[in-house]
Structure 1
Amino acid sequence: MKTFLKILLTALAVIVLANILPGISVAGYVSAIIVAVVISLLNMFVRPLLIFFTLPATIVTLGLFLFVINACIILLADKLVDGFAVSGFWSALFFSILLSIFRSALFSLLKEDKKSLK
């Protein structure tokens, strides 16, 4: 249930960012949900491989190359989903940074309060 909510919150963030940012467009709500699922799957399977193969560049740039990897994931999602369009690399980079911020803020709402046992 929590995974389904995270996908819906990511879709909401995609819709909001597509309306705010120039160069990003989403055809509708269904496309946004598909984009959220595709980005989640790409982050799960492709991102670790990209991080492994670009580890020297990530170490040299002190982790800043991870932003480039995130932008590549967004561009790959653009190619895989028909109703989602990104105009270029810089739009994808800015979108990925803002999407990470939005997702962190929205996912913090789902955190459960852990009560300490005394």
Structure 2
Amino acid sequence: MNFLIKLLISAIIVFALSHFLPGVHVTDLKAALLVAIVLGLLNTFLKPVLVFLTIPATLITLGLFLLIINAVIILICDYFIPEFQVDGFLTALFFSVLLSISQSILNKIFVSDK
């Protein structure tokens, strides 16, 4: 049940950010839900591989390289979903930071830890 709540929260945040953040375009709520699903899959399966492969860069930058990895995952999601478009790398970086912060806050409010 918590998984569905987190998925819905992510979809709503993606949809809202696309309306307020220039350079991020989502056609409708269905596309935002698809983006949330694909981001969840990419974060589950691809992100650990990218983090492992970039351990030296992550250590040198004291963890800031993880922001770059998040932006790359957003751009990969943009590649796979035609209804989702991000205009550039900096937009993807800003979008990923806002998405992560929003998810943290709303998951803390709405998702139980039981």
Q: TM-score higher than 0.5 here?
A: yes
1:47-89 CA distances to partner (integer Å, 9 max, x unpaired)? 0000000000000000000000000000000001110000000
TM, length-normalised to structure 1: 0.93
TM, length-normalised to structure 2: 0.96
2:15 maps to which residue?
15
Cα distance in 1 for partners of 2:95, 2:113 equals: 30
Cα distance in 1 for partners of 2:112, 2:4 equals: 16
1:41 counterpart letter in structure 2: L
Aligned Cα root-mean-square deviation (Å)? 1.1
Equivalence map 1:75-114=2 (5 Å): 75-112=75-112
Percent identity, aligned pairs only, is 48
Larger radius of gyration: 1
Unaligned runs of 5+ in 2: none
Number of residue pairs matched?
A: 114
1:96 counterpart letter in structure 2: S
Cα distance in 1 for partners of 2:23, 2:113 equals: 39
Equivalence map 1:40-51=2 (5 Å): 40-51=40-51
1:55 maps to which residue?
55
1:34 maps to which residue?
34
